[in-house]
């Protein structure tokens, strides 16, 4: 639902030349800043990209929860029906 609305809004944002020039300037400034702070900024970008990947791997490899057995089940006095 939000993906379609976001793409719709971005299409109108990218139509105007002023907004395209602004976004290109921001992108160029971001690249310049990454180059100026080279080792630290690349490590920060690596951490930002690796964090979701690590969390997905951790959630997928998490052990399944096993329901504990009912300790009172052996004292159940109801008759078991057989077909």
pLDDT of residue 13: 82
CB 20 within 8 A of CB 14: yes
Q: What is the pTM of this model?
A: 0.53
pLDDT tens-digit series, residues 3-26: 999 998 888 888 889 988 998 999
To the nearest whole percent, how much of the chain has pLDDT over 70? 90
What is the four-CA torsion angle of 12, 13, 14, 18, rounded to 10 degrees?
Answer: 130
């Amino acid at each position: 639902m939000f993906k379609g609305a976001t793409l719709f809004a971005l299409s109108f944002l990218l139509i105007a030349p002023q907004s395209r020039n602004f976004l290109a300037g921001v992108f160029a400034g971001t690249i310049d800043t990454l180059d100026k702070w080279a080792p630290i900024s690349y490590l920060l970008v690596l951490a930002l990209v690796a964090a979701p990947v690590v969390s997905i791997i951790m959630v997928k490899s998490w052990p399944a929860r096993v329901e504990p057995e009912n300790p009172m089940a052996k004292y159940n006095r109801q008759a078991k029906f057989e077909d």
